[in-house]
Amino acid sequence: MNSKKTTKISILVLCFLVPVLISTSYFIFRHFAPFGGSSVMTVDLGQQYIDFYTNFHDTLLHSPSGFFFSFSKALGGDMMGTWAYYLMSPLNLIMLLFPLSKLPSVLGVITIIKYGLAGLSFGYFLMKVTKHVGWSIIGFSVSYAMMGWMVANQFNMLWTDVLFVLPMIFYGLFKILKNQSSAIYIISLTAMLIMNYYMSYMIAIFLTLFMFIYWAAKALPVENQTSAKAVFKWLKASILSGILAAWLLLPTFFSLLGSKTQYSKGQYKIKFEYNPLDMLGKFFNGSVNFNELPAGTANVFVASVVLILFVYYFFIPTIKRNVKIANLSLTAFMILSMCFQPLDLFWHGMQLPVWYTFRFSYLFSFWMILTAFQAFLHILDEGINWKGYLVTAGIMALGVLYVELRWKHLEYMRHFDFLWGCVYLVVSLGIVVFLGIYRKNIVLAMTLAVLMSGEMALNMVTSLNHLDYLKANNYTAFERIMRKHVNEIKQKDKGFYRLGTTFSRTKNDAFTGNYNGGSIFSSTLESDTSQFFKNIGQPNGDSFVLYSNGTMFTDSLLNMKYYMSHQITEANPNKKPKKQLLTTLTRKPDYNNYNLLSQDALIGTYRNPYAVPIGFLAPKSGMEHNSIAKSPITYQNQIAHRLDPNIKNLFEPAAYTDMRCNNIQPISKLNNAVLKKKNLLEMSYIIFSVPIEKNTSYYMTLGTEINKGNISISVDGQAQTQFTPSEKTIIANIATGTSINTTANVQIFVNKNNALLQDVKLYKVHNSKIAKFSKDLNSKPYKVTKWNHHQLTGTVDATSNNQALTTTIPFENGWTAKVDGKSVQPERWAKMFLYIPINKGHHKVVFTYWPEGLKVGLLITAFGLAFIGTEAILKRRKKQKNENPEGPTNTK
């Protein structure tokens, strides 16, 4: 092995190892698993993604059908779109090698590996494209791998693969421009499209901007071909990449039509989101904190050397003017995109992001580092242009002055970090001078790498020190306890049912507990599901639903056959209260109507005797009414009557008596009353009594004003725990009558100077009515004999025509039904669930889910593979013909 090849390998190894060592050292310092009891889990990684990774583990090892559909996603939902957005990183396969108890540790290791792969990929890209082999490449690679975007988003693990794939895409692009093979471009872009379509969308925009801006400026670095031919070849390769990924992209597209695309809210506004010059503050280390995550400026931190050389690039006289204009045009567009809302909206698929703003800013950092490296090579070849350098230094000084004047308004900026940023900037300006003087000095190149790596390490420390992280056992202890109790239920009941809880760790607990649930927090949440939850009085939003406020009726209808309730131990005033492992989600006295199966110090498990099957017979005429009542109580009454005409009104208004006010202006009624304090400093509340009839459940509706925290409620001295927010009036279970008549005392506290009791009404439902509803529907069941997440097989006995086999399976276009082997088109009821018409007789019914677009996507991908294979064969034959134009020679 020659010395140059050895040097190449050594440099690439260090491009990988330096980011790994920096991140590992910091992880050890913070005691992140596997180096301690803390973890990399924070924000969405701890509250959302880790549950998806649990599902990833279960699906691939135990339940492959969950790749298509899952009843753990709210009441059930498509999963291909979820996998395409969250779970397609090849590094996730590492998780399969370890038990779930090690998942927080595995996430830490994967994060470290991604830092290393990003550095390795970028170092390889620079070597291949520029043909430069030098130790300084390490510094630029570390600056890329540990850019501000990566540090700020390391817990958004679904996105971070992009940093080690992007350089390969651009390496492939440069090979196309040199009229070489497009294989690397096609492979890497296809891989990225499969790994995360969202990041791929941003890359596609950037690639298009690069190609057409440089083409328009006649600055494309083409070789042995015209620019037009190069653009055509690039377009062909890009389209082919999309074709090869169609098997996943097409089903994902249809999934998005029913989820994210339904939540647009007229966000288009022509305005600047902040002063563009404030972006300069993000070039100082430590510019990330918790407040910056939901609504901060773009994360564009790179090493000071990069910033200096990036600006200096535009003052190098030997670079052609048209090339500078192209670079400056692309740069200007990127900068404008990071502060001008219409462009920001465009980069995010016409939807402004909720948290984690300017998600495409990694592309700007990539562009800066690539441009800076080109300037660096010019210095090595030509020396430094002192005029350009002095202008650059002046621009740096003006930038520092601006940040100095504005730093008190940049809430993330600490004076300590500002001073360190100035130190690194001055030292970097000095090392650029030395680069101009001692261009080929190996020691200087190594010094440059150390300087840049040190600054990136400092930024990681000062940025991530601003964030708090979950303990590893926040997940592991919960997962262990949940699975223990869920498995106990599964051992006794092998059928299909859903399970509710009065506590939660996250909204995705059903994935962690491996059960059919009723909640979800996902960017791919179907809009129909969110709307249905809103209509029945459950907390909901654009990306979450929470089955925390089930009534006796919805528990019955939605097949909530089992409930797990948090056993709250009484506080001992002589002891410091322990932090609870389980967080109470809601107060649910209704579980006293259910049968207690088991309990321990943490959880009581109950069986709901009123639960109806996943499918049942109902009048077909009831399926045709889809009007939505404004009140969730009225809507539940309507659904009950449509499914069981013998049921009139389940819920009735409940009375309250003896209303008294403490430090509140007198009111005559509850609903829509305004509670005004008399004395602003004294405790203020109203209290009233509710007569509780035996064997009757009581509910209170609460309008969206409760989201503002203006009021809080207690019943008989117990806090009425309630998750907020919600987009509509919700229903809270306040009491359940036992075998005797009693009274409940309700207090509503005013937390502000005044509060509106919006939609505050009381209702009751007799258990006998719920029992009647349950008995009627259970008498005509769809008996499930076999099921997995994408198929249910069972039988039903219809005693008359004009019936509908009604289910609480969420309707998706991918569902098909076969009755006695004959296809029947599923239809939708309540704008949410599927049903099929059924005739009199005994029938075998099979429901099967295949994601919409999957079959067509597979055909398109197969066509793409066939096209590549055919083209390869034709090229080989053409090459053979050119090498031997006269054909084979006969010899005797």
Q: Specify if 780 maps to a domain.
A: no
pLDDT for residue 884: 76
Based on the fold, state whether residues 791 and 753 are members of the same structural domain.
no
Judged on CB neighbours under 10 Å (0-12, 13-18, 19+), 41 is buried
Q: For residue range 667-700, list pLDDT tens digits in order.
A: 989 999 999 999 988 899 999 999 999 999 999 9
Tell me how far apart the alpha carbons of residues 240 and 244 are, in angstroms, rounded to a whole number: 6
Of 80-89, 506-515, 568-577, which range is least confident?
A: 568-577
Based on the fold, state whether residues 680 and 742 are members of the same structural domain.
yes
Q: For residue range 851-866, list pLDDT tens digits in order.
A: 999 999 999 999 999 9
Based on the fold, state whether residues 585 and 721 are members of the same structural domain.
no
pLDDT for residue 746: 96
Tell me how far apart the alpha carbons of residues 470 and 43 are, in angstroms, rounded to a whole number: 9
CB hemisphere CA count around 850 (13 angstroms) = 9
Q: For residue range 758-795, list pLDDT tens digits in order.
A: 999 999 999 999 999 999 999 999 999 999 999 999 99
Based on the fold, state whether residues 354 and 419 are members of the same structural domain.
yes
Beta bridge partners of 619: 803
Q: For residue range 363-413, list pLDDT tens digits in order.
A: 999 999 999 999 999 999 999 999 999 999 999 999 999 999 998 889 899
pLDDT for residue 384: 95
pLDDT for residue 572: 47
pLDDT band at 353 (very low <50, low <70, confident <90, very high): confident
Q: Is the pLDDT of residue 266 over 60?
A: no
pLDDT for residue 57: 98
With residue 217 as reference, give the H or E element that holds it. Answer: none
* Cα end-to-end span (Å), the chain: 45
What's the average model confidence in pLDDT over 97-101? 97
pLDDT for residue 494: 93
Nearest residue to 361 via CA among 166, 554, 141, 106: 166
pLDDT for residue 402: 96
Of 27-41, 260-274, 818-832, 856-870, which range is least confident?
A: 260-274
Give the residue carrying structure tokens 């377009």.
235
Judged on CB neighbours under 10 Å (0-12, 13-18, 19+), 215 is middle
Give the residue carrying structure tokens 């650059």.
392
Tell me how far apart the alpha carbons of residues 365 and 3 are, in angstroms, rounded to a whole number: 33
Q: Specify if 470 maps to a domain.
A: no
Residues in Cβ contact with 432 at an 8 Å cutoff, skipping those fewer than 6 apart = 305, 308, 309, 312, 379, 384, 389
Whether the CA torsion 491, 551, 70, 33 is positive or negative: it is negative
Contact, 478 vs 501, CB < 8 A?
Answer: no
pLDDT, mean over the chain: 94
Based on the fold, state whether residues 561 and 695 are members of the same structural domain.
no
pLDDT for residue 123: 98
Q: For residue range 559-570, list pLDDT tens digits in order.
A: 999 999 987 654
What's the average model confidence in pLDDT over 266-275? 83
Based on the fold, state whether residues 748 and 792 are members of the same structural domain.
no
pLDDT for residue 261: 64
Q: Specify if 637 maps to a domain.
A: no
Last residue of a domain, one of 813, 833, 849: 849
Query: Residues of the chain with pLDDT > 70: what percent?
Result: 97
pLDDT band at 158 (very low <50, low <70, confident <90, very high): very high
pLDDT band at 268 (very low <50, low <70, confident <90, very high): confident
Q: Dig out the tokens for 588 from the structure.
A: 């649910």
Contact, 196 vs 85, CB < 8 A?
Answer: yes
Residues in Cβ contact with 530 at an 8 Å cutoff, skipping those fewer than 6 apart = 540, 541, 542, 544, 545
Q: Specify if 779 maps to a domain.
A: no
pLDDT for residue 891: 44
**Side chain identity at 730, as an amino acid letter?**
I
Q: For residue range 140-157, list pLDDT tens digits in order.
A: 999 999 999 999 999 999
Last residue of a domain, one of 734, 766, 798: 766
Based on the fold, state whether residues 111 and 249 are members of the same structural domain.
yes
Q: Specify if 891 maps to a domain.
A: no
Based on the fold, state whether residues 754 and 807 are members of the same structural domain.
no
Which residue blocks in 383-464 are alpha helix, DSSP H? 386-406, 415-437, 442-464
What's the average model confidence in pLDDT over 120-125? 98
Cis amide leading into 317 (omega within 30): no
What's the predicted TM-score (pTM) here?
A: 0.95
Based on the fold, state whether residues 740 and 798 are members of the same structural domain.
no
Q: Specify if 363 maps to a domain.
A: yes
Based on the fold, state whether residues 548 and 600 are members of the same structural domain.
yes
Tell me how far apart the alpha carbons of residues 544 and 562 are, in angstroms, rounded to a whole number: 22
Based on the fold, state whether residues 131 and 38 are members of the same structural domain.
yes
Based on the fold, state whether residues 760 and 807 are members of the same structural domain.
no
pLDDT for residue 882: 80
What's the average model confidence in pLDDT over 406-427? 92
Nearest residue to 89 via CA among 145, 156, 26, 21: 156
Tell me how far apart the alpha carbons of residues 61 and 96 are, in angstroms, rounded to a whole number: 8
Of 338-342, 612-616, 888-892, which range is least confident?
A: 888-892
What's the average model confidence in pLDDT over 244-262? 89
Query: Residues of the chain with pLDDT > 90: what percent?
Result: 86
Q: Specify if 440 maps to a domain.
A: yes
**Side chain identity at 23, as an amino acid letter?**
S
Give the residue carrying structure tokens 């959880």.
603
Per the structure, the count of domains in the chain is 4
- Residue 741: which domain range? 652-766
What's the average model confidence in pLDDT over 528-538? 96
pLDDT for residue 710: 87
Tell me how far apart the alpha carbons of residues 704 and 307 are, in angstroms, rounded to a whole number: 48
Q: Is the pLDDT of residue 423 over 60?
A: yes
Q: What is the CATH number of the domain that holds 740?
A: 2.60.120
Q: Specify if 574 maps to a domain.
A: no
Q: For residue range 124-141, list pLDDT tens digits in order.
A: 999 999 999 999 999 999
